[in-house]
A = this chain, B = another copy of it.
Amino acid sequence: MKDCGSVRNIHIKIEYDGSGFHGWQFQPNVRTVQAVVEEVLSLVCAEEIHVHGTSRTDAGVHAYGQHATFPLNSAIPVDRIPVAANNILKDVKIVWAREEAPDFHARYDAVGKTYIYRIALDGLRVGAHVRSALYDSTDIFLRNYLLPVNYSLDIPAMQEAAKDFVGTHDFASFQAAGSQIIENTVRTISALTIGERTRMDTKGNTCKELLVTVTGDGFLYNMVRIIVGTLLEVGRGRKSSADIKKIIGAKDRTFAGPTASPCGLYLFEVYYNSEGR
């Protein structure tokens, strides 16, 4: 089937609100993005569709730029696919669809990815009332979209720490304990930036959020969440920015900080080498 000359190779970019999903990857009896996308594409293309996604995002993780490829027999015009699919989809959007060369694969041909982490700094206003801080100041309309922190953050220290992640390193310390054995845990982070930005809450008030943006050639399982969990430890003074080199050097998960909540994490974009990919 796959070698049949008439099979088209379709590449789609996908945006989704992860709040209502048990992550990307198909699992029986729960709602996953992959299952929803396959169901709708099968309907739209009038044939059974199976997609290969670039990243297996965790439950609750959002995406502005997930990518996937799938083989297609139908002659449906490629531009028609997002329009028809988006007519049905609610919390997922097919940003675009295009045809690729037969050997292109959304996952294996990806050369880099950017993730962003949005952290709500509003809890800081309330001061010492830690328990009520979290709830009084958290915007419930954004509960699935930003990670709330109810402690002060030393942002310059976090920015200093961020620098030591950049480069090519063995990131074994930043891989989820119990991950499948991966032979090569060396990855290259090309950029890791931490910046404050002003946002408007749903009531129209101005609030501050911390935006962590990390770009790399690939990420180990939970690597972004553990990096952010470690940066938050630096921000609250439980680790020093000087510790990052030691943590990386240890190649031991127990040296790094906790895995940050998936709340606030977005797969922002995936990069491909060729022009037009």
A residues apposed to B, CB below 8 Å: 15-17, 62, 64, 82-83, 86-87, 90-93, 131-132, 135, 138, 140-141, 143, 145, 197, 199-200, 202-204, 211
In the complex, the answer to whether B145 meets A202 with C-beta atoms within 8 Å is: yes
* A140 cross-chain contacts in B, Cβ below 8 A: 15-17, 90-93
For residue A40, give the distance in angstroms from its CB to the closest CB of chain B: 13
The interface residues of chain A, by DSSP majority, are classed as: mixed
List the 10 shortest-distance A-B pairs measured between CB atoms, nearest first.
A86-B135, A93-B140, A17-B141, A17-B140, A199-B200, A83-B132, A200-B200, A91-B140, A15-B140, A83-B131
Given contacts A15-B140, A141-B62, contact A131 B87 (CB under 8 A): yes
For residue A101, give the distance in angstroms from its CB to the closest CB of chain B: 26
* A16 cross-chain contacts in B, Cβ below 8 A: 140
Q: Name A203's contact: one of B64, B90, B93 (CB within 8 Å).
A: B64
* A131 cross-chain contacts in B, Cβ below 8 A: 83, 87
* A62 cross-chain contacts in B, Cβ below 8 A: 141
* A197 cross-chain contacts in B, Cβ below 8 A: 204
In the complex, the answer to whether B204 meets A143 with C-beta atoms within 8 Å is: no
In the complex, the answer to whether A143 meets B91 with C-beta atoms within 8 Å is: yes
* A204 cross-chain contacts in B, Cβ below 8 A: 197, 199, 211
- Per the bound structure, the CA–CA distance linking A140 and B92 in Å amounts to 7
For residue A6, give the distance in angstroms from its CB to the closest CB of chain B: 28
Q: Name A145's contact: one of B15, B141, B211 (CB within 8 Å).
A: B141
For residue A82, give the distance in angstroms from its CB to the closest CB of chain B: 8
* A203 cross-chain contacts in B, Cβ below 8 A: 64
- Per the bound structure, the CA–CA distance linking A138 and B86 in Å amounts to 11
* A83 cross-chain contacts in B, Cβ below 8 A: 131-132, 135
- Per the bound structure, the CA–CA distance linking A90 and B263 in Å amounts to 13
In the complex, the answer to whether A90 meets B143 with C-beta atoms within 8 Å is: yes
* A15 cross-chain contacts in B, Cβ below 8 A: 140
For residue A236, give the distance in angstroms from its CB to the closest CB of chain B: 22
For residue A264, give the distance in angstroms from its CB to the closest CB of chain B: 11
- Per the bound structure, the CA–CA distance linking A200 and B143 in Å amounts to 17
* A138 cross-chain contacts in B, Cβ below 8 A: 93
- Per the bound structure, the CA–CA distance linking A17 and B143 in Å amounts to 10
Residue of B nearest to A132 (CB): B83
For residue A44, give the distance in angstroms from its CB to the closest CB of chain B: 13
